[in-house]
Structure 1
Amino acid sequence: MEPAGRAYFRSIHVLRGAAAFSVLLFHLHVQLTRMGYDGWWPQFLQSGVDLFFVISGFVMWQTTADRKVGLIDFYARRLRRIAPLYWMMTAAIVFVALLVPSALQSTQITLWHTVASYLFIPSLMPGDTIVAPVLVPGWTLNYEMFFYAVFGACLWMPTIWRLRVVPTLLVAIVLAGLVFRPQASALAFWTSPIILEFGLGIIAGYMASSVNFTNGALARLFILSLAVVIGTGNLELGDGRWLLHGLPAAIMMLSLVGIERAGALPRLTVLSRLGDCSYSLYLSHGLVLSAVAQGWRGMGWSGSVAAWLSYMLFAVAAAVLVGWLIYHLVEKPATEMVSSRRTPAAA
């Protein structure tokens, strides 16, 4: 992958791996409940998504600041990076759902929902109240593409103006949503306060070169921010998610970048390897968790602690392996095929 900034920040790559793995662990709960588990689960793990969003804002700032980037070129690069794997996996789900509907449990396929999924347009899932595409984790990509549209439209501005205008636009969009409360699912989706996390990432990207705290202070900031995320994880965050998860995620990211700039970042090899395949892992993990859970239930392994623990261990290992294989066999070759050079992994 191309460096995630004007200088390569290994810390950002590590955080991608941590974010993808966190979301994987969070989604274990969905399948465990279908296997009879009704106990507590660490909801803070969902904050991996918030970390992805602030990383995206950071990367977009770092890769365009003080550089002349054409609007069409910017959008083309983003599409080449995001779309190939996502479209292929969406096609695979549609194919399986039409041929073997029972294999995907509750998934329903309609023409409009499928088209909207390919075009990154937020749409209600058939028979549900959730706004998500055919490949459910792709709901975050709908936010990503919306952010890219806003950010790209401001590329003509001088860098310092872009720093001010893009976050301000995001705030204005959110305020419009809060005032007018749009009923259309797409408008309600795009005006969610969660888009403010991209703005936090932009600000963090601007601050990255000027963070001048001691490593000890940065480590304490990181731990304190992580504690806030963990401590608020099981609260109903609602519109405050950007503040209680997004802001701490931005501070953690900025702290880790500062530690790296000081040459004190540990190797963290496992998280770095997960960072390599984070996009493939993120998009595929739900399907793997579901498939393993169906296998466990089919063999009568549910309703006991042993069944739950064995499921978690096997499902996590399988999801990571499949994500790694998809990255090397599908994502990486596909990205290289449609691009003259590799582009930033802003998943």
Structure 2
Amino acid sequence: MATASGGTVRSIQVLRAIAATAVVYFHCNPPGGGYGFPQTGAWGVDIFFVISGFIIARTAFKRPEGFMRSRIIRVVPIYLVATVLTAVAVAAFPHRINSTEVSPDGLLKSALFIPYEMATRPGPILEAGWTLSYEMFFYVVVALALLATGSAKRGLTVAAVLLFLLVLSGWVSPSGWYLVRFYQSSLFLEFLSGILLWAAYERSRVNQGVFAGGRTSGAVTGVIMIAVGFTLLVAADTWDLFSAGFDERFVQYGVPSVLVVVGGLLTEPALSAGRWMRLLVELGDASYALYLFHPFVILFLSRIAFDSVLPGAGLGLRVVMLLLAIVLALVASVVVNRCVDGPIQTRLRRRLLGSTSSGKVMSRV
């Protein structure tokens, strides 16, 4: 995502890289298995959702034309590649991936981002793809609201109200129909928080407010907010702070995620370009590829390469293997982003949107 001046919002890119890496760690340590470390990091998804709301609000104002086409181009192609590869992996190693069912109906629903249930877990075929059902629904609601109102401001307002009412309906009367109940989730409050954060961020930049403040004071406050946010996220998992029977995820993960993203934006003026920052920005750019393809790396290492070693490994060896898994997943994501996703984005944007850019922009989810 570019700023109004055309630069990259480095803090957002860094947070995307951290969020995706947290999800990798989470999937490396399933309960009673994997590398045997405490399970946390599922909240990386919630950070992504807040960032997505921020990005989509900016896109609606800056580039409303072709909004839905650009979203489909951004999300769908590489997701379909990952889905097909998952189906192939299930067919090749059915005893290794026994929680995933592949059928024509499941493939169709997965490709269309329609939530459904398998016998052992919810769909889609690509397990991590459940978040994209929320993303695409969010995009569709925003796109229809923009089309109906003809205004970015009114359109985002209408979309926000509709999504809030949907969440409210889930609190008041959860549907017995899985498809409806899926979309009654409080997760949409994270998207809405991102929209509100973008509005505050833009207003502050124009009026020289808190997000356009001095390098030192703003950065210190931002670092404190980031530290508090991540502490709350890890604490929620470590001490099981939330065990109520209702949908409390926005309280558990959403609020701290908003705190983290606000803190990141406050540090933005103090972030300077450099070798390490360029690396972090690239990892942020590859975060979507990391999110989609890290399960393949984890599957290969934990269930094939390390299968005979992990059960009896000591703490030191498990740390080394975990770090290796995360590093290999990061490297694989950069390769996929550069060699597969990047070229796909470039061709589709040129053909369907008339864009001459490389497609390597921060509007990615």
| TM-score normalised by L of structure 1 | 0.88
Question: Is the aligned partner of 1:171 residue 2:180?
Answer: no
Question: Once the 2 structures are TM-superposed, how far is the Cα of residue 147 of structure 1 from its aligned partner?
Answer: 0.6
Question: Is the aligned partner of 1:223 residue 2:218?
Answer: no
Q: Match of 2:259?
A: 251
* Greater Cα offset, 113-122 or 291-300: 291-300
Q: Match of 1:55?
A: 51
Counterpart of 1:187 (choices 162, 165, 180) is 180
Question: Is the aligned partner of 1:287 residue 2:296?
Answer: yes
Cα RMSD (Å)? 2.4
Could you give the per-residue CA deviations for residues 228-275 of structure 1, whole angstroms, max 9, x where no partner exists? Answer: 223223324662221232122223212322331xx2125552432311
Question: Is the aligned partner of 1:241 residue 2:240?
Answer: no
8 Å contact kept, 1:14–1:271: yes
Change (3 A) 1:182 1:283: same
8 Å contact kept, 1:228–1:248: yes
Could you give the per-residue CA deviations for residues 86-144 of structure 1, whole angstroms, max 9, x where no partner exists? Answer: 1011112223323442353432212211111000001113x21x323111111111110
For structure 2, the residue ranges without an aligned partner over 5 or more in a row are none
Change (3 A) 1:62 1:92: same
Could you give the per-residue CA deviations for residues 58-95 of structure 1, whole angstroms, max 9, x where no partner exists? Answer: 00111222x5724xx21111110001111011112223
Matches of 1:230 and 1:5, distance apart in 2: 34
Counterpart of 2:95 (choices 88, 99, 102) is 102
Specify the SS of the correspondent of 1:335.
helix
For structure 1, the residue ranges without an aligned partner over 5 or more in a row are none
Counterpart of 2:78 (choices 61, 79, 85) is 85
8 Å contact kept, 2:49–2:190: yes
Matches of 2:162 and 2:26, distance apart in 1: 31
One-letter amino acid of the counterpart of residue 18, structure 1: I
Specify the SS of the correspondent of 2:29.
helix
Question: Is the aligned partner of 1:135 residue 2:126?
Answer: yes
One-letter amino acid of the counterpart of residue 129, structure 2: G
One-letter amino acid of the counterpart of residue 270, structure 2: A
Counterpart of 2:69 (choices 72, 76, 96) is 76
Matches of 1:249 and 1:68, distance apart in 2: 26
Matches of 1:6 and 1:170, distance apart in 2: 31
Matches of 1:245 and 1:5, distance apart in 2: 30
| TM-score normalised by L of structure 2 | 0.84
Matches of 1:333 and 1:53, distance apart in 2: 25
Specify the SS of the correspondent of 1:102.
coil
Q: Match of 1:331?
A: 341
Q: What number of residue pairs does the alignment pair up?
A: 335
8 Å contact kept, 2:60–2:67: no
One-letter amino acid of the counterpart of residue 257, structure 2: A
Matches of 1:296 and 1:243, distance apart in 2: 39
Matches of 1:255 and 1:312, distance apart in 2: 28
